[in-house]
């Protein structure tokens, strides 16, 4: 191993994919007080390290902290992905302004050690594996299956070249393999498709699935994905306007007639969409849990919201939703409160400890991974879901951290059985 002597003081920018060991390297070579972590700040200003909606605020604070530390000539280590060239250049500029050297440390990693999200067997087996997973879920009492709407893996969870199936093609495939389970995206980025075309896609899914489609939509956020596919990522304000128009246009596309639609940013002269959905009303879920704008739109237009966090945060957000419903003259009983969380389930504490050790990224302690994955025994998960239900959650959507096949679905089925 080559030993590198860094100048002191200096600015160190870590560069590497998620799970490559940047945090471990930083902790091994620097005092904790030297390290400024975007994940840690995101947890402070948001609902946890994975709360991407808090990223803008987190990076604003990170930049402020870095600038103030450099002004005091303090060695500072920036622990982020470091993959954005513009942000790296900004750090170089900050260091130059403070007359300090800036060093980029790229963390190389064996691909086998990085968190992987593809299934064993690769693309040749993914269809059959997905079929068995969703059919088992249907048998075990899962009410719905939801897929991400991305075209490449987000950097927070994997590498750009990891496998990522297109969402609506996948849902159509799953519709043909199942009979009762509902199908939706969590959530469709509103910038990815012409909204009227999205209405046609969802209507077709509903017809071919026998009336089992849900429609989840959200603002969209993944800048590199937009750039890679040649799409424009509008400002947040413009995306909110687009979402609000979509929440009005989509039901019109699915309803009778073909009258024109004219919204704030969308104009559709002819809303012809045949065949109509089998459902009289396809449920619309709006993703995001912002208490001022997002939940206001839920109260005015949507059939469901999707929230994050644990019971105390959920109660606050549900209270905000109730206030918006009151302002809009909407009956809160018409809106389903859904909740998304990662889970890791084992039968015993011994099995759970072994599972945590096998699944955790090398850069994350067992304790931190257990918290982020909501690791617990079946009994602990039953208690947790009961607490969420008591806080006002009506539908829990779980992402199984160790999902590889039917076995993990069956294990969580034991949790479902406790509520039957």
Q: Please tell me whether residues 177 and 95 are part of one structural domain.
A: no
Are 35 and 163 within one domain?
Answer: no
Examine the domain organization and report whether 20 and 155 are in the same domain.
no
Q: Is the alpha carbon torsion for 76, 77, 79, 81 positive or negative?
A: positive
Is residue 44 domain-shared with residue 166, that is, in the same domain?
Answer: no
Compute how many other C-beta atoms are within 10 angstroms of the C-beta atom of residue 112: 6
Do both 281 and 404 map to the same domain? Answer: yes
For residues 102 and 210, membership in a common domain is answered with no
DSSP, collapsed to helix, strand or coil, labels residue 354 as: helix
Q: What is the pLDDT of residue 47?
A: 62
Instruction: Show the low-confidence residues of the chain (pLDDT under 70).
Output: 1-3, 18-19, 47-53, 109-118, 362-363
What is the total residue count of the chain? 420
Say if residue 95 is in the same domain as residue 145: no
First-to-last C-alpha distance (Å) of the chain:
57
3 lies in some domain: no
Regarding whether 140 and 23 lie in a shared domain, the answer is no
In this structure, the answer to whether residues 227 and 328 fall within a common structural domain is yes
DSSP state letters, 239-270:
HHHHHHHHHHHHHHHHSSS---EE-SS-EES-
Task: Provide the strand spans (E) within 175-309.
Answer: 182-185, 188-189, 215-218, 261-262, 267-268, 284-287, 304-307
Say what the pLDDT of residue 117 is. 52
* Residues of the domain holding 59: 11-109
User: What's residue 1's pLDDT?
Assistant: 46
Q: How far is residue 341 from each of residues 107, 205, 338, 349, 414, measured CA to CA in Å?
A: 29, 26, 10, 20, 18
In a domain, 269, yes or no: yes
Q: What's residue 122's pLDDT?
A: 84
Integer Cα distance of 113 and 97 in angstroms: 38
Count structural domains, the chain: 2
Whether 18 is covered by a domain: the verdict is: yes
- 243 and 318 both lie in a single domain: yes
User: How do residues 299-329 score in pLDDT, each as one tens digit?
Assistant: 999 999 999 888 889 999 999 999 999 999 9
Residues 166 and 305 in one domain: yes
Domain shared by 257 and 337, yes or no = yes
CATH code (residue 371): 3.20.20.30
Q: Rounded to whole angstroms, how far apart are CA atoms 286 and 294?
A: 8
**Beta-carbon count within 10 A of 326 CB:** 11
Six token digits for residue 178: 């199942």
Distance CA 83, CA 207 (A): 42
Residue 117 lies in a domain: no
Strands 336-346 and 144-147: unpaired
Is residue 330 in some structural domain?
yes
pLDDT given at position 52: 65
* CATH number of the domain within which 28 lies: 3.40.50.300
Rounded CA-CA distance 412/387 in Å is 17
Q: Which residues have CB under 8 Å from 237's CB, separation 6+?
A: none
pLDDT one-digit tens code per residue, 73-100: 999 999 998 888 889 999 999 999 999 9
Do the beta carbons of residue 376 and residue 345 sit within 8 Å?
A: yes
Residue of 228, 189, 187 whose CA lies nearest to 83: 228
């Amino acid at each position: 191993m080559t030993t590198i002597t860094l100048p002191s003081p200096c600015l160190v920018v870590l560069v590497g994919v998620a799970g490559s060991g940047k945090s471990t390297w930083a902790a091994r070579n620097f005092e904790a007080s030297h390290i400024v972590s975007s994940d840690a700040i995101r947890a402070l200003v948001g609902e946890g390290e994975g709360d991407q909606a808090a990223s803008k605020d987190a990076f604003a604070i990170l930049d402020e902290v870095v600038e103030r530390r450099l002004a005091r000539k303090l060695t500072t280590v920036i622990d982020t992905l470091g993959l954005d060239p513009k942000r790296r250049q900004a750090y170089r500029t900050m260091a130059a302004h403070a007359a300090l050297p800036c060093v980029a440390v790229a963390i190389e990693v064996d691909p086998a050690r990085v968190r992987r999200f593809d299934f064993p067997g690769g693309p040749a087996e993914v269809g059959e594996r997905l079929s068995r997973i969703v059919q088992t879920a249907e048998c075990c009492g899962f009410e719905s299956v939801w897929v991400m709407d991305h075209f490449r893996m987000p950097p927070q969870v994997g590498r750009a070249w990891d496998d990522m199936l297109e969402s609506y093609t996948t849902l159509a495939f799953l519709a043909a393999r199942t009979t009762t389970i509902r199908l939706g995206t969590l959530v469709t980025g509103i910038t990815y498709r012409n909204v009227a075309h999205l209405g046609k896609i969802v209507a077709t899914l509903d017809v071919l699935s026998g009336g089992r489609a849900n429609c989840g939509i959200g603002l969209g956020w993944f800048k590199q994905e937009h750039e890679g596919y040649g799409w424009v990522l509008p400002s947040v304000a413009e995306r909110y306007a687009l979402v609000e128009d979509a929440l009005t246009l989509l039901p019109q596309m699915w309803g009778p007639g073909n009258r024109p639609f004219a919204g704030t940013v969308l104009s559709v002269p002819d809303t012809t969409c045949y065949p109509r959905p089998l459902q009289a009303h396809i449920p619309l879920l709006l993703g995001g849990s912002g208490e001022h704008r997002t939940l206001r739109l839920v109260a005015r237009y949507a059939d469901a919201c999707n929230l994050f966090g644990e019971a105390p945060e959920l109660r606050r957000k549900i209270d905000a939703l109730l206030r918006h419903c009151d302002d809009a003259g909407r009956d809160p009983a018409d809106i389903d409160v859904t909740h998304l969380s990662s889970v890791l389930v084992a039968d015993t504490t011994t099995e759970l400890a072994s599972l945590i050790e096998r699944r955790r990224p090398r850069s994350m302690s067992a304790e931190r991974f257990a918290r982020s994955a909501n690791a617990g025994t079946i009994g602990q998960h039953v208690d947790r879901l009961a607490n969420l239900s008591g806080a006002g959650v009506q539908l829990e959507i779980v992402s199984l951290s160790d999902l590889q096949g039917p076995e993990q679905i069956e294990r969580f089925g034991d949790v479902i059985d406790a509520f039957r």
